[in-house]
A = this chain, B = another copy of it.
Amino acid sequence: MVQLDDLDRAILRILKEDARLTISEIADRLNRPESTIHFRIKKLQEKKVIQKYTIVLGEQFQPKALAVVYIQAETPIIEEFLDRYIQYLTKTLSMLPNVLVVAKSGRDGVLAIVGADSEEGLHKFVDDTIRTLPTLKRVEVFPIDKFIKGEGLAGVLVGV
């Protein structure tokens, strides 16, 4: 477990906001020598505190409508088939470009974050592509109408 001090955290917070800043710009902001910042960032990368540098795509490339969809599968008589069916479900959903997140949830559930160009498009997708999957027990759609926190989510996860 890596221990971070205040300087590490300050560097990480700055990079989260703008990962394009140069070492010298970060050094200026934090009033520390460049060599210190350079060394710290190197360490943070080596220790995988910084896992990856990436871009957030702008609003126009983010889906206009988003929803969390919870899908619960019917438990089959032969219980071991459930795992396989959940695997099939998650794999099928993952391949769809407008499904941004897929996760297993409990033994018989799948969570997805689904995007579309409009609310109608979103409902059509859920009705046509998700609700028609075989042996589902429950499909619940929770629209994401307005982010109060975590707005970056869509811009990071959306494909190009």
Residues on A lying within 8 angstroms of B by beta carbon are: 1-2, 4, 9, 12-13, 15-20, 47-61, 68, 70, 90-91, 93-94, 99-106, 109, 111, 113, 142-150, 152-153, 155-157, 160
Given known A50-B57, A91-B148, A103-B147, contact A111–B155 (CB-CB < 8 A)? no
Kindly report how many copies of this chain are found in the complex they form together: 2
State how many angstroms separate the Cβ of A6 from the closest Cβ of chain B: 10
Please state if B54 and A50 are interface contacts (CB–CB under 8 Å): no
User: Which residues of the partner chain B approach A1 to less than 8 Å between Cβ atoms?
Assistant: 60
Please state if A19 and B19 are interface contacts (CB–CB under 8 Å): yes
User: Which residues of the partner chain B approach A103 to less than 8 Å between Cβ atoms?
Assistant: 144-150
User: Which residues of the partner chain B approach A19 to less than 8 Å between Cβ atoms?
Assistant: 19-20, 53-55
Please state if A94 and B49 are interface contacts (CB–CB under 8 Å): no
User: Which residues of the partner chain B approach A15 to less than 8 Å between Cβ atoms?
Assistant: 54-55
